[in-house]
Amino acid sequence: MPRPEKAWVVFSGQTEIPYLKVLRNGFRHCFVVLRRGDHWISLDPLAHKTEIELHYLPDNFNLPDWLKTRGHTVVETEFHSTPLKPLPLALFTCVEAVKRVLGVSSWKVMTPWQLYKHLTA
């Protein structure tokens, strides 16, 4: 089965980690949602683990739209083609995990807000 052509990056302002509250409100965490065949897949890199979920939802259910109704900012994006070379070393954060799923190699993108600006530029 081919990989999905599109992905949705979901940005959230919710956090239980005190030091993340210095980040821009609404952009303190991010995760990625993919549609593959009849299923939605979410990859949510948390501070203590990465949750990968396969969501069994009705065919007409639009998960990105539902997430928007829950107060999240959702950006539809595509996968980037990247050269076959190691990416720069970086802290493993939610942003770095999402960047690697999408193939974003910009070392300047380190916060959820910067990722949002990069994807919407």
pLDDT digits (tens, 9 = 90+) for 93-111: 999 999 999 999 888 999 9
- Asked, for residue 20, whether it belongs to a domain, the answer is yes
Number of domains the chain is built from: 1
Instruction: Tell me the mean pLDDT in the region 70-75.
Output: 97
User: Would you say residue 60 has pLDDT above 60?
Assistant: yes
Half-sphere exposure at residue 94, Cβ-oriented, CA atoms within 13 angstroms: 27
Write out the residue range of the structural domain in which residue 45 sits: 6-120
Contacts of 75 (CB under 8 A, 6+ apart): 8, 9, 11, 116, 119, 120
Question: Which amino acid is located at 87 in the chain?
Answer: L
Taking the whole predicted model, whether its pTM rises above 0.85 is answered as: yes
pLDDT digits (tens, 9 = 90+) for 20-56: 888 899 999 999 999 988 889 999 999 889 999 999 8
- Asked, for residue 1, whether it belongs to a domain, the answer is no
